[in-house]
A and B are shown apart, each in its own frame.
Chain A
Amino acid sequence: MKKYYEAAKIMFKTQLVYRFDVITGVVFSVFKIFLATVLWGAVFEKKGIVSGFTFHTMLTYYLITSFISQLDQSAAVGWQVSSDIRNGRFSKYMIRPIGIFRYFASQSAGSTAFLLFFNIFAAGVWIFLFQIDFTIISDLNLILAACIMIILGLLFMVQLHYFIGILAFKILDVTALMMMKENIVQFLTGALIPLALLPRAWVHAMTYFPFYYISYLPTMLLLGRNSGECVSGIMILVLWNIAFGIINTFTYKHLKSIYDGVGI
């Protein structure tokens, strides 16, 4: 366990080296809030409540989802794994006495831990700047459930990105897959619009998939809505994590045999 803790610690320190890039990344999250302000400002000019949201609860929704999205640094895992495979550098992980997935998951956790502080600070600044009437529930059980869901969601995203990364054994260039995934996941996690705005049948179908629970449901829980889905949400995320763990192990074992370690 200690070696994974060290991997996380190194990544935490690496973020300090690239602090300017990290900080600009956090600062640029303002664009999401600004987009929400302009778009929903125009929508709420004509209607006081949309799908149970007021203008301020909508802005709070975007603030929380943007905060959770910023914590997810797992895309770097997909890019790193695929690039190392393509360039023949992946052999270095194969010969080390480590679990490759656990190593990348630890690195991702290190980045997230570093960003946590900056994101909390940035969220405070955006609340002040956009004068958001920020209100979340005070029920500690629901807050805890939302936090568990966020952690499980982040773990699932690492698994997903690792899976796309190791597909590079087979298809070499996964850039298009990564970009498509980015667009689709943004929509499915509710980072673009609250899923409550979609047709009921769509939302019902989404509850069987993990994306619904990554940022949408935790945000809704913090806003005091959908509390009935809390336990089932955690269960579904745990199941998806187990399933993807098995898929990743199988895919890695199956595909690593075609890796020549030469690169292109």
Chain B
Amino acid sequence: MSIKRQIKIIYMLMKMKLSKNMAFRFSFFGAFFADSTLFLIQLFMFSAIYSQVGSIGNWTKSQMILFIGTFSIINALAMTFFLFGLITIPEKIKSGELDLYITKPIPSLLYLSFESIDLGSFPLVFASIAIIFYAVSGMTVSITFLSVVGYIFLVILMTVLWYDLMVIIRTIPFFLIQASFIENLEGEVLTLCTKIPGTLFKGPFKILFLILLPYGLMATVPAQFFSGTLSMSGFVYAVALVVAFHAFTMFFWKFGLKHYKSASS
């Protein structure tokens, strides 16, 4: 299917979801308010810690704020575009509702991913940009066109990585009926990695959070790039890892679909 057609489908799904969401106006910006408080509180938390110490690991206060802002923007993009669609996959596999998706003449994963676009979460992108501006104002790095483009590229790349990890975890219910503990584990790991940059992990946890479950890379890599502390090999590693994860995700989803037994799953 051509990219133009895929974008057209996503646009139609977005319009359908928007009209549905308007029925609950109070909840429209619900996710925005909930996650805004989350990141705001994280800022308070780190401000309190930095009032006691100059740096945590090699992260200065401004770099840490940039890290928080970066996670916030990746989270905002995920919530706006695919998060609310993907989280419904395990239930759809369990109930057999997935039948409705695989029989439609569009790629099932595309439909599932973008059927719950949440425009109410999009303002969080602007709030995140404000956090990033605040962080950068306290840094001494020179901002160039290249650093901005590179940062945006890495933010998009890490959003794709989040998407891949979400799909991989939600493909497991094709093989295991009750996999809710894996989703709970994902939630805990995500919470952990939103609070500490990946470079702070040591020993086997480095392998776990930077290679096997690379949540530790997500905000760390773009923040390091923008603050000029990311090495060339670090950049190449991040790109290669996302490419590998994306290829695996597509393969694993197709493999999972082959094991789908409809309502009897």
Contact = CB atoms under 8 A, between A and B. Distances in A.
A, B: real partners:
yes
Interface stretch (B22-30, B99-107, B130-138, B255-263): B22-30
B37 A38 contact: no
A183 B42 CA distance: 9
Nearest to B187: A28
A42 B181 contact: no
Contacts of B55: 46
A183 B188 contact: no
B53 A39 contact: no
Interface string B141-164: 000000000000000000000000
Contacts of B41: 183-184, 186-187, 192
Contacts of B196: 35, 38-39
Interface string B1-30: 000000000000000000000001011011
Interface in B17-60: 24, 26-27, 29-31, 33-34, 37-38, 41, 44-45, 48-49, 51-57
B interface majority secondary structure: helix
Nearest to A184: B37
B30 A42 contact: no
Interface residues of A, number: 33
Interface stretch (A130-138, A173-181, A210-218, A238-246): A173-181
B185 interface: yes
A173 B210 CA distance: 38
Contacts of B24: 172-173
A173 B120 CA distance: 15
Contact of A21 (B38, B180, B205): B180
30 contacts: A21-B181, A25-B184, A28-B184, A28-B185, A31-B188, A31-B189, A31-B192, A34-B192, A35-B191, A35-B192, A39-B196, A43-B49, A172-B24, A172-B26, A173-B26, A173-B27, A175-B30, A175-B34, A176-B30, A176-B31, A176-B33, A179-B31, A179-B34, A180-B37, A186-B41, A187-B44, A192-B41, A197-B51, A197-B52, A199-B51
Interface of A: 20-21, 24-25, 28, 31, 34-35, 38-39, 42-43, 45-47, 50-51, 171-173, 175-176, 179-180, 183-184, 186-187, 192-193, 197-199
